[in-house]
Amino acid sequence: MPKTIETNNFRGIKSKLDRSYLIKLEKQIRKIIEKGTREVYVGSFRLAYTFFKSEDKLIFLDFYHKDKQ
């Protein structure tokens, strides 16, 4: 399992999510780690991330509604 880092912005948004979105978000995070997925949707939201394979590090940057991109 790679080391994961969440920005303050990501943590703040994540802390406001209801349980159903947290479950969807965790599922997509596992998908990123296991399958190398590059574009990730969680319902109507998008999860922005950077993965440094050489360092085995995953950084979560943002979690935003698709209408706000």
The reported pLDDT for the residue numbered 30 is 87
The class of domain 3-68 in CATH terms is alpha beta
User: What DSSP assignment string belongs to 1-57?
Assistant: --EEEE-HHHHHHHTT--HHHHHHHHHHHHHHHHH--SSEEETTEEEEEEEEGGGTE
> How would you write the pLDDT of the chain (69 residues) with one tens digit per residue?
688 899 999 999 999 999 999 999 999 888 888 877 677 889 999 998 888 888 888 889 899 988 876
C-alpha gyration radius of the chain: 12
* pTM attached to this predicted model: 0.67
Give residue limits of the domains in the chain: 3-68
Q: Which pair of structure tokens corresponds to residue 59?
A: 């950084």
Tokens 């599922």 belong to 27
